[in-house]
Amino acid sequence: MRKNIVAGNWKMNTTLPEGIALAKAVNEALKNITPKCDVVIGVPFTHLASVNEVIDKSKLGLGAENCADHLSGAYTGEVSAPMVASTGANYVILGHSERRQYYGETSETLKTKVNLALENNLTPIFCIGEVLEERENNTYFDVVKKQIEEALFELPADKFGQIILAYEPVWAIGTGKTATDDQAEEMHAFIRGVIADKYGKEIADNTSILYGGSCKPSNAKALFAKPNVDGGLIGGASLDAESFMGIVTAFE
Ligand code: PEP
């Protein structure tokens, strides 16, 4: 069956010493408990190798927040999937709405990135979600379905089965405005249906679908109680070990 997962997305926050301290604090907190979910931190590229040295990878997974759509070569400033994997990381967040919105990432580039990630043993945490206008004009199901189809549905079933999805309504990211647990459940159930239509019920049932968007200790419990919500991708609240752990421990 699918896993429950809570993954942090630190975004462009923390200096290296601050990042190491935060990773150590999460690692320390995990020593004392047996969480009912896998726990992952997504950290800036500059932090990966150092954070890898200070965490117990059997309890805390490590991910990058992006990777390049090329394997190597003359792409100044880019960081490839093999480079990420060589730091010890085992996850990569791909298709985050901030990457789509500010850096022009398209389904076409994301398709390439997903393939490169999988070829290099990185588990993609693939983000999808509608903007406010699409929520308000009721096109949000179509938008999310298209994002999944365009970037992921050329994958063979065994490869698709390695993907973690994160539904992140853009209007809820960093705004303090969380989707209600019913809104999240409605979309997650829809996504699972889309996957079942393409790859069959077994793969759909085994796919972890995380919710992201102003998730915090106070609302995580209700969100995670929904049958199709398998955890969270956590931005702001992942920058404080205590609040992140408040979400990790929200699974009943
Ligand atoms: C995110 O950016 O992935 C996210 C969910 O951010 P926040 O939790 O801050 O809304």
pLDDT tens-digit series, residues 36-81: 999 999 999 999 999 999 999 999 999 999 999 999 999 999 999 9
State the Cα–Cα distance between residues 196 and 190, nearest whole angstrom.
10
Question: How much distance in Å is there from the Cα of 148 to the middle of ligand 1?
Answer: 19
Q: Is the dihedral of CA 64, 239, 132, 160 positive or negative?
A: positive
9 lines ligand 1 (CB under 6 A): yes
Task: Specify the pTM.
Answer: 0.98
pLDDT at 32 over 90: no
Q: Is 119 a catalytic residue?
A: no
Of all protein residues, the one whose alpha carbon is nearest to atom 3 of ligand 1 is 235
pLDDT tens-digit series, residues 124-168: 999 999 999 999 999 999 999 999 999 999 999 999 999 999 999
The one-letter code for the residue type at 126 is F
Q: What percent of the chain has pLDDT over 70?
A: 100
* Ligand 1 atom with least separation from CA of 216: 8
Q: Beta partners for 127?
A: 166
**Structure confidence at residue 1 (pLDDT):** 83
Q: Is 96 a catalytic residue?
A: yes
Q: What is the mean pLDDT of residues 21-30?
A: 98
pLDDT at 100 over 90: yes
Select which of 96, 105, 134, 188 is catalytic.
Answer: 96
Question: How much distance in Å is there from the Cα of 247 to the middle of ligand 1?
Answer: 13
Select which of 98, 130, 134, 168 is catalytic.
Answer: 168
